[in-house]
Amino acid sequence: MEITFNGKPREIQAGISLQEFLDQMKLDCMQVVVEHNNNIIPRQRLAETVMQTGDTLEVIHFVGGG
Amino acid sequence: MQIKVNEQDHTVGTNDSVGKVRDRLKADADLLIVNGFPATAETLLNDNDQVVLIRRGEIPDAEELDALLTARHTPGVHGIIKGSTIGIAGVGGLGSSIAIALARTGIGHLIIADFDVVEPSNLNRQQYFIDQIGLPKVYALRDSLKRINPHVRVTACHLRLTPHNLEEVFGHAQVLVEAFDLAEQKVMLIETFATRFPDRPIVTGSGMAGHGPANTVQTRQVANNLYLCGDGSTAAAPGTGLMAPRVGVAAHHQANAVLRLLLGEDPVNEGKV
């Protein structure tokens, strides 16, 4: 199924959760903010949130320093 | 016609000069400002102009001070922002500079939170002084902010922010500034605040280490209510330190994004949100 990932169309496996997607992309959930269909999803809800066709996903990676 | 002089309403003759108004209201003023910009005595006034008359070296009373501190502001800005409350999470290199910029701008209420104390290694980029070493940063910063602008209300919270106390600390913040050091802490703060207050903007910083070009530090909208200032990638790491110039660039991107949000303007592009 197709979703929009960081502004671009992307084919992903049907029925996978946000956590599974991050794992496949080798993204560390401790260092990314995940916005799913305009809502920021806290990390403890990543595993229970399953993606649907047409979803919009933004994954923002953070680096240290401040 | 009606004008404002040092924030008070006054009626003056049509096309009176600034000098004439000065002679009538504050003859010893030697700095004349009209609509946020220095003017000569011959400058002719228009209806609704905002005039500030300053006597250099004079310490004004508290009421007048508020008007004089903001004499160089773009007219109309001060009235909006002095009623605003901003939360700043972390007052290190980013947060201390952001707080000072916002205090100088005349923000009504700043809530600052940090668990740390001032250390010598902070002074290469953070807005503290040698005589503040050992003090909790939030108290040292509160003292400095009061010296800059006594009209800014500062709530200083000396604590470690967690998902459990975030709402209590920043429940009144219209905009939250993320100014932590560690990536994991940045993510924790954003997730927690955005989940609890999805309609309130967050201005975050990521990627300002080293001494790469200042022009790679940008303000971007990265999610619905999340604005990110930085280059997005240059982490503080062995071999890449944090230094005042580039951290300051990112901090002032963040402060300007806050100001634009309060004024209803888009932090990234010209125009309204």
* Predicted confidence (pLDDT) per residue in B196-212, tens digit: 999 999 999 999 999 99
Domain containing residue A42: CATH number: 3.10.20.30
The count of structural domains within chain A is 1
Q: Residue B71: is its pLDDT beyond 90?
A: no
Cα–Cα distance measured from residue B126 to residue B243, given in angstroms and rounded to the nearest whole number: 9
The verdict on residue A66 lying in a domain is no
Which among A31, A38, A58 has CB closest to B187? A31
* pLDDT tens track for B108-148: 999 999 999 999 999 999 999 999 999 999 999 999 999 99
pTM of the model: 0.92
Round the average pLDDT of chain B to a whole number and report it.
95
Distance from CA of A25 to the nearest CA of B (A): 18
Strand partners, B10: B3
What is the per-residue burial (b if ≥16 Cβ within 10 Å, else e) of B190-216?
bbbbbeebeebbbbbbbbbbbeeeeee
The verdict on residue A46 lying in a domain is yes
Going residue by residue through chain A (66 aa), what tens digit of pLDDT does each one get? 999 999 999 999 999 999 999 999 999 989 999 999 999 999 999 999 999 999 999 999 999 999
How much of chain B exceeds pLDDT 90, in percent? 88
Cα–Cα distance measured from residue B192 to residue B201, given in angstroms and rounded to the nearest whole number: 13
B chain contacts of residue A58, beta-carbon cutoff 8 Å: 222-223
Q: Which domains does chain B have, with CATH numbers?
A: 2-63 (3.10.20.30), 78-262 (3.40.50.720)
Contacts of B105 (CB under 8 A, 6+ apart): B73, B77, B81, B255, B259
Distance from CA of A28 to the nearest CA of B (A): 10
